[in-house]
Structure 1
Amino acid sequence: MNTLFDKIWDKHVVQMIDDGPTQLYIDRLYCHEVTSPQAFDGMRARGLKCFRPDHIYCMPDHNTPTHDQDKP
């Protein structure tokens, strides 16, 4: 019996490489504010565009400090 993970994995396999990694199709991209801006700046500098921008989801992540919130 396949697990949920196995079922999702199997539905996204593009190609299985002999003695190598499995190539997967990633149908969603989740971004957060810490490293995503640098990645998009790098793409912009190289003249690259996002593939399927309607499948990119962004959310804040760990931006508010838990200590010293009164300090800039």
Structure 2
Amino acid sequence: MSKTLFEKVWDSHIVDSVESGQEILYIDRHFIHEVTSPQAFDGIRRRGTGLFRKNRIVATADHNVPTKDQHLPIKDLLSKLQVDTLIQNCDDFDIELYG
């Protein structure tokens, strides 16, 4: 039986499987954004682990940027804080930020 594209991609990224049948995947590209990445960066800082293959991480602010009047500052304070935090985290961890 032929496989779906999803199944082919999944199967090509399996590293191992555990006794329960769950599979461990290798994530070769990691996309991050301004909304949930602050929690991840805080965890990395607390553990002091640093990043593995940070050149495989792509960061972009895509939730809080306006679709029109992009030349103007972000009006919503929480949105601005999230974008500014992403910029700072990318600078701190030397991650390329697009946008």
Structure 1: distance between partners of 2:75 and 2:19: 54
Q: 1:26 to 1:71 in 2, by over 3 A?
A: closer
Give the C-alpha shift of residue 38 in structure 1. 2.4
Matched positions, count: 69
Greater shift, 27-36 or 41-50, is seen at 41-50
Give the C-alpha shift of residue 32 in structure 1. 0.4
The percent of aligned pairs where both chains have the same amino acid is 54
Pick the structure with more helix per residue: 2
Structure 2 length-normalised TM: 0.59
Unaligned runs of 5+ in 2: 68-73, 77-99
Pick the structure with more strand per residue: 1
Unaligned runs of 5+ in 1: none
| RMSD, aligned α-carbons | 2.1
Structure 1 length-normalised TM: 0.78
